[in-house]
Structure 1
């Protein structure tokens, strides 16, 4: 409308107008998390076994740009340790696990697994990557829920790292 002062904010470099990361700006690890999330969703919703979802996911467009080693570790690690990951997450939920969206459930698995096994990834990066996944693939406010749960889990699984960041005055993600 002419004379209207409301304007869409200019996108930040590497981001779309909505704030999501542009595909070209994503690292191979971020792409691995996206493909792992899609595969874990198939496992949670369709009850498909790891080998089937792995084979299907590797055939998806763009898979060659993903860090396949990290994807493998996430997919197989989350499925193999599903009960343990759920046991860590459940005490932090405000509802039954069955009421959690499969996307948010899978994202929380990814975060919990990375806290335990991807020690080269800083805890704050794990949370930020999971928030991005939930924003891109989850429900409207699912990222806020994922953020709250993973922020509750981080001090348990990365106590030294979290305490060091708090002592230095770094803000929580």
Structure 2
């Protein structure tokens, strides 16, 4: 994965966190990120896809999360919630991206932004979603490994 795409995820976590906490208009937050140079070295098209795609598909994403989390989605720590929503978005809507990449990137985001041990929580939830939503991909990988 490219560093610019990883940076896009990092910026998207921060922007989604801000959106979750303030309820501000997405365009306003996006403009603020651009003005403050937070999108330097970022794959801007991917940042924009994540930042707008998560709110656009929020009900579907939160339904997928709700099956596997131990509390209401809105009660999850806001940083972890932003990371889980991005990872779930990628698992559901970016089928061309291998699930292992999604899990690895999400774990790294949790290590970067989350509380101690939050990467284990994020990994556990997203792994369960991947097992449910990416069955064909997982089976193909298992067959290839045999």
By the TM > 0.5 criterion, same fold?
yes
TM-score by length of 1: 0.78
CA distance in 2, matches of 1:33, 1:151: 18
CA distance in 1, matches of 2:70, 2:141: 27
- Aligned residue for 2:108? 132
Question: How many residue pairs end up in the alignment?
Answer: 145
- Aligned residue for 1:87? 63
> Where do residues 145-156 of structure 1 align in structure 2 (5 Å cutoff)?
145-156=121-132
Report how far residue 65 of structure 1 moved. 0.8
- Aligned residue for 1:46? 22
Structure whose CA Rg is larger: 1
- Aligned residue for 2:142? 166
Query: More helix by proportion, 1 or 2?
Result: 2
Tell me the SS of whatever aligns to 1:63: coil
Report how far residue 156 of structure 1 moved. 2.1
What value does the CA root-mean-square deviation take over the aligned residues? Answer: 1.6
Report how far residue 35 of structure 1 moved. 0.6
CA distance in 1, matches of 2:36, 2:134: 34
Tell me the SS of whatever aligns to 1:29: helix
The answer (yes or no) to whether the contact 2:9–2:50 under 8 Å persists in 1 is: yes
The answer (yes or no) to whether the contact 2:80–2:114 under 8 Å persists in 1 is: yes
- List gaps (5 residues or longer) in structure 1: 1-25
Of structures 1 and 2, the one with the larger relative CO (CA 8 A, separation 6+) is: 2
The yes-or-no answer on 1:29 pairing with 2:13 is: no
